[in-house]
Every structure is written in C-alpha cells, then in structure tokens.
Amino acid sequence: MSNLPDPIPPTRVPEARKRLDLLLDLLTGLYELGRGATVRTDDAGQSVLMVRAVRSGRSVGVVVWQEPRRGWAYVWDGHSVPADGTARAAHLLAAVSE
C-alpha cells in the first residue's frame, strides 16, 4: 500500500502524451503573442492549459479532445479549433482572454 497516485494505464500513455504535446504547442503560440499561460497535469495524466484573462482575472481552461471525425482539437468555452491550426487557436484564445 502506498500514497502514490495510480500510474496512467499503459494503453492511455500515447494519448496523454499527444494531448500534452499539443497543449505545449499552444502554450508556445501564446508566448509568441506576448500572453502567458501554464499547463497543469493531474495525477491521472490529464493536462489542461490555463490562461488568465487580463481584464476579468478569470482563468480560461483549454483541453485537447480527439473528435471522432475531425481529429484532435483545442476546446475551451464553447470554442473548438482543430489542433492543426495552433496559430489560429492561439490568436482566438488571446482575444478571448483579454
């Protein structure tokens, strides 16, 4: 018995890594636009990118979702942007979080 969290199931590791890599790409895109953000990963290996809105101070969370027909996408507050459009997602997110 230990207090350590359960490891990510081996079948989910590639998927969790893909999500993290896409969020890091978006993080880089936001930094290039002069916006800061952080990526947090929980004990189960689920990652979320957090961007603080400048005016309201609220945080916007972005996750990566694999859509059955469209593939990977960035998802936040009703937005869904294909992950192959990282620059577009970064611009939209920067505008939403002002």
Residue 19: predicted pLDDT = 92
pLDDT at 2: 46
Q: Tell how far CA 37 is from the center of its chain.
A: 10
Structural contact between residues 79 and 92, judged by C-beta atoms closer than 8 angstroms: yes
pTM listed for this prediction: 0.83
Query: In a 3-state reduction of DSSP, which class is residue 62?
Result: strand
| 10-15 average pLDDT score | 69
Beta strands across the sheet bearing 47-52? 38-41, 47-52, 59-67, 71-76, 79-82
Domains of the chain, by residue range, sit at 12-96
Model confidence at 8, pLDDT cuts 50, 70, 90, reads: low
